[in-house]
Amino acid sequence: MDKVCIVGAGAIGGFIGARLALHGAAQVSALARGATLDALRTHGWRLREGGALRQGPVAASDEPAELGPQDLVLVAVKGPALAEVAPRLGPLLGPDTVVLPAMNGVPWWFGRGIAALGPEPLASVDPGGRIAGAIPFERVLGCVVHLAASTAEPGLVEHRMGQGLIVGEPGGGDSVRAQRIGALLRAGGLDVTVSADVRRDIWYKLWGNLTINPVSAITGATADRVLDDPLVRDFCSRAMREAAAIGERLGCPIEQSPTDRHAVTRKLGAFRSSMLQDADAGRPLELDAIAGVVHELGARLDVPTPNVDALFGLARLFGRTHGLYPG
């Protein structure tokens, strides 16, 4: 049976880990700490779906060496924590271990192989190349998460909607290992697509989240109120057009208008974005991987991004004022 370690057993990591364990798809462990570690050791995985609470076995530790080499390491920590976590993952990595970052925004490896960006790491998501130095690119499989879950308390995950994952080789194309990991995740009851261009899938999701997340965090407004204000909606559209222009330069074209995307988002109703939830809970904002990286990419590619820059600047100031973003 495959050995899978969940690094970051919060809402997304906890949901995927619990599903794999409950379906008997893998031997699932968790690298966790604090109250979450205590809860996992006491109760195992806990997942509430459709009003029913289900529990599954887990080996949980705050020491990677106690868990040992894995077949799959699924990283689901918040973006600001990854630079600290990545150097600790060595004991989990065997000769053929795959690392699957199931995280928001643009990942640290995104610029690898794009000639127009040059060899330097993206400073917004991997300052100094610390993450890339700890997690070799050859181990990485790209991932896009299309599900919503929350933690009612440490170690207790509540599934809200969706169960989709897109996985694929970061350099594009298909592979045996991508198909193998896709099959493993499907065995956990997840809806998995193996993509031949996961970088483009990542950029498309980012394009949709780029504005809703920080605008909702700054204003405290749910997504419906953001989109129902014509001035705010127009501002979001302008920022999205800038991001689409960057995508064209990166080989990640967007085949949709901002208006069409807004219509899709508006159908989801009065939801609270992940960044708004973090702001309300006093957690660090995942701002760099969602907005800061677009600001950086625009500068590197000489693509003007005045609206993205304004959005990033306002959200950064909001975060610093409230102690949610480094000063």
Show the 3-state SS of the chain: CCEEEEECCCHHHHHHHHHHHHCCCCEEEEECCHHHHHHHHHHCEEEEECCEEEEECCEEECCHHHHCCEEEEEECCCHHHHHHHHHHCHHHEEEEEEEEECCCCCCCCCCCCCHHHCCCCCCCCCHHHHHHHHCCHHHECEEEEEEEEEEEECCEEEEEEEEEEEEECCCCCCCHHHHHHHHHHHCCCCEEEECCCHHHHHHHHHHHHHHHHHHHHHHCCCHHHHHHCHHHHHHHHHHHHHHHHHHHHHCCCCCCCHHHHHHHHHCCCCCCCHHHHHHHHCCCCCCHHHHHHHHHHHHHHCCCCHHHHHHHHHHHHHHHHCCCCCC
Q: What does the pLDDT read at residue 312? A: 98
Is the pLDDT at 256 greater than 90? The verdict is yes
pLDDT tier for residue 327 given thresholds of 50, 70 and 90: confident
Over the stretch 124-172, which tens digit does the pLDDT of each residue have? 999 999 999 999 999 999 999 999 999 989 999 999 999 999 999 999 9
Q: Average of pLDDT values for 229-253?
A: 98
Which residues of the chain are in CATH 1.10.1040.10 domains?
200-321
- Please, where in the chain does CATH 3.40.50.720 lie? 3-196
Q: pLDDT band at residue 1, thresholds of 50, 70 and 90? A: confident
Taking 90 as the threshold, does the pLDDT of residue 35 lie above it? yes
The answer, yes or no, to whether residue 205 has pLDDT greater than 90, is: yes
pTM for this predicted structure:
0.96
| Domain 3-196 class, CATH top level | alpha beta
- pLDDT attached to residue 51: 86
Hey, which residues are catalytic here? 205
CATH number belonging to the domain at 200-321, selected among 3.40.50.410, 3.90.105.10, 2.40.170.20, 1.10.1040.10: 1.10.1040.10
Please provide the average confidence, as pLDDT, over all residues in the chain.
96
